[in-house]
Every structure is written in structure tokens, then in C-alpha cells.
Amino acid sequence: MSLDNEVESLRRIPIFANMAPRDLKLLAFTSERLCFASGDILFEQGANGDSAYIILGGRAEVTIDTPAGPTVLAVLKENQIVGEVAILCDLPRTATVRAAGELTALRVTKDMFLKLSAEFPDIAVAVMKEIGQRLDRSNSHLAGTMGTQSGA
């Protein structure tokens, strides 16, 4: 994939939609393009959060460890970002993310992501909105699971 194609992919991601093309080129140029085979792990729950990943192609499963075993929270697809919570909150990874088939992603370092968030406040707001939506989905999933376990 060329730099121009990566810029076009980044432009389709809502949190980067308002960035100037030159800034998107800088993001694409300073990010590492990675390819994962099915089952490869992008990062594991509990690991240090040193980067975020932008999915350029393919799908990824987000799972958490529970007493009953791994639980799938979400399946991410092209033009989605994952891993930003750990770098924004300076916390260990809250979930494991694994390629569900062949996957191509851009790895954005913590320093670059924080710099972008500072330079482009719209990115920070969009990320907060995404985190809030994920929390809501996780709470709904948890409530459904709890209702099933209690016989409701």
C-alpha cells in the first residue's frame, strides 16, 4: 500500500476526517505498517500500552479474560482504531486484540498519538466519544451476561 493509499484510509476514519492532507501524510509516514496472519496478537490484556493501531484491512477480535475463559467483546473492522485507551490513560491494556483473518494495520506510537491529540482537539473529542460508546456497549454486554447468569 502506498503512502497516498494510507492517507486515503486515514481520511475515512472519523477521528482523522478533519485533518489536512499534509498532517495525514505525516501520520502515515511516522506510523509503522504491519501485517498480521489470522490468530496473531496485536497486543495482550495487561501489557503496557505503547501504541494504538488503525485497522487498514481485515478484522480483529477484542477479548477479555474472565473466570469462565476469554470473552469476545467486539469485532473491529477496517477504518477503526484500537489501543488508544491504554496510551491516553497510561494504563495497562484492558483487552487482548487478535487478528481474525489476515489483517493490515498502522501502528501509531504513544508520542505521536498524544502529539496529534494536542494539535487537533477534534481528535481528542472524537476519541472520548468512541471510548464512551465502547463503555456503553461493554456495560450493555455485561448487563446481558449478568441477567443470563441470574436466570432472568
Give the model's pLDDT for residue 114: 83
Scored b (16 or more CB within 10 A) or e, 64-78 reads: eeeeeeeeebbebeb
Q: Would you state the pLDDT for residue 62?
A: 95
- pLDDT, residue 2, reads 76
**How much is the pLDDT for 77?**
94
The per-residue pLDDT for 146 is 67
Give the homologous superfamily in CATH for domain 32-149. Answer: Jelly Rolls (2.60.120.10)
Q: What is the pLDDT along the chain (152 residues), one digit of tens a residue?
A: 677 888 888 888 877 777 788 888 888 888 899 999 999 999 999 999 899 999 989 999 999 998 999 989 889 999 888 998 877 788 899 899 999 999 999 999 989 888 887 887 777 777 778 778 777 877 787 777 666 555 54
Cα–Cα distance list, 113 to 30, 40, 53, 103 (Å): 10, 23, 10, 21
Domain boundaries defined on the chain: 32-149
